[in-house]
Amino acid sequence: MEYAPVIGVGTSAEGQARSLWYDAWVRLRRNKLAMLGLGIVVLVILLAIFAPYITRYDPTEQLIWTEGRAAQLAPPNAKHWFGTDLYGRDIFSRVVYGSRVSLQIAIAAMGISVFIGTVLGALAGYYGGWIDEVISWLMNVIYAFPFLLFIITVVAFLPPSLTLVYVAIGLISWVSIGRVVRGQVLAFKNQEFVEAARALGVSNRRIIFHHILHNVIAPVIVQATLGMGSIIMTEAALSYLGFGTQPPTPSWGLEISMGQDYLLSGKWWWSIFPGIAICLTVLGFNLLGDGLRDALDPRLKQ
């Protein structure tokens, strides 16, 4: 086993491919930290899906109007596990529902990133020449661009919305994927199996998308998983600054920003719990991403 790309050869690759994924899964399972990461990620996904069944209160329901002062800024208790905020909203509900916003944006933005990154990276790597130069120049420009400033500028001109946030993040964060794909394609395009395909008269498009990209899936998955964490952080930062998710939609970043005024006066629960949620989720994606990288790259382990 010199290198993994062998599995990409020919049409009978399917059987062998499954065994690669199986091998990877076996390796991943042996990695305790990666399994912890996977556990956290699965938990967050389950929270997001089953939010209405897990929580007792509507995350936007303001209890002060009916229950008065007792419901306001209550510390964690049996009814409100994470306490309540200024308006008597249940912070546990808001944290659980907040996972929906975070995941929604992370998945949508990552989808856009993966699409742009893969297509542009593959084109640059395969064709080389001026196409490569233009795309690489674009990647360098975006890479050097102040990320938050770009999004804040965009949001300043258009009314903030979830769609805008993930499109803006997606349009910017494809560069790392694009670079990985370009590098991989560059390494593969002169391999024998590609040359063989070319000799058989297979079209460029088919070679790129069918023969080469199959072999690039693994590093893209690793990059995408690692990238999820940073997208969740970006969304939180934007919402914290008031440019992301808009009230009353619960978002972790927004919660921290509203709660921080009360942090010094001892009402810690309003921003601490959403803060923990962000930390854990990002940690989960990063651990899983690291584990996947180790599992999907046999050269590292053998």
Partner 1 sequence: MRRSFVLLLAALLVCGLTASVLAAPKYGGIWRDALNANPPDLNPVHATDTTSAEVIYQIFESLVEIDNEGNIVPLLAESWTSNEDGTVFTFKLREGVRFHATTEGGKPTANGGREMTAEDVVWTFNHICDPAVNSERAYFVDMIKGYADYREGITDHLAGVKALDKYTVQFELSYPFAPFISILGYNSFMILPREDVEKWGHREFNFHPVGTGPFKFEEWVQDSKVVLSRNENYWMKDADGNQLPYLDGIEFRIIVDHNIEWTEFLAGNLYQVYVDDPYYEQAGGTKMTVNPETGLKTAVTNLGLFYERPQLGTYYYGMNVEKPPFNDKRVRQALNYAINREVLIDLVLNGRPSPAKGVLPPGMMAYNPDLAGYTYDPEKARQLMAEAGYGPNNPLEIDLYYNSSTLHERVAEAMQAQYAQIGVKLNLRVLDWGSLLDGVERGEYGMFRMGWVVDYPDPDNFLYVLLHSENIGPQGNYARFNNPRFDELTKLARLETDTAKRIQYYQEAERLVVEEAPWVFIYHYATFSMVAPFVRGYELPSFGQYANKFRAVWLDR
For partner 1, the binding residues (CB under 8 A) are 60-62, 64-65, 68-69, 72, 86-87, 159, 242, 246-248, 258, 260-262, 264-265, 267
CB closer to partner 1, 85 vs 294:
85
The least CB distance from residue 89 to partner 1, in Å, is 9
The least CB distance from residue 200 to partner 1, in Å, is 58
Give CA–CA dist 58/53, Å, rounded: 11
The least CB distance from residue 265 to partner 1, in Å, is 4
Q: How far is CA 54 from CA 14, 47, 252, 270, 275, in A?
A: 41, 7, 18, 19, 20
CB closer to partner 1, 11 vs 265:
265
CB closer to partner 1, 23 vs 61:
61
Residue spans of alpha helices (H) in the chain: 13-30, 32-49, 51-54, 64-67, 91-127, 129-144, 147-157, 162-172, 175-188, 192-199, 204-206, 217-240, 252-259, 269-296, 298-301
The least CB distance from residue 246 to partner 1, in Å, is 6
The least CB distance from residue 261 to partner 1, in Å, is 5
Q: How many residues does the chain have?
A: 302
Give CA–CA dist 136/128, Å, rounded: 10
Looking up tokens 């949620």, which residue turns up? 277
The least CB distance from residue 54 to partner 1, in Å, is 22
Give CA–CA dist 17/25, Å, rounded: 12
CB closer to partner 1, 161 vs 204:
161
Query: What phi and psi, each to the nearest 5 degrees, are found at residue 90?
Result: -75, 115
CB closer to partner 1, 107 vs 258:
258
CB closer to partner 1, 136 vs 246:
246
CA torsion 162→113→15→299, rounded to 10°? -130
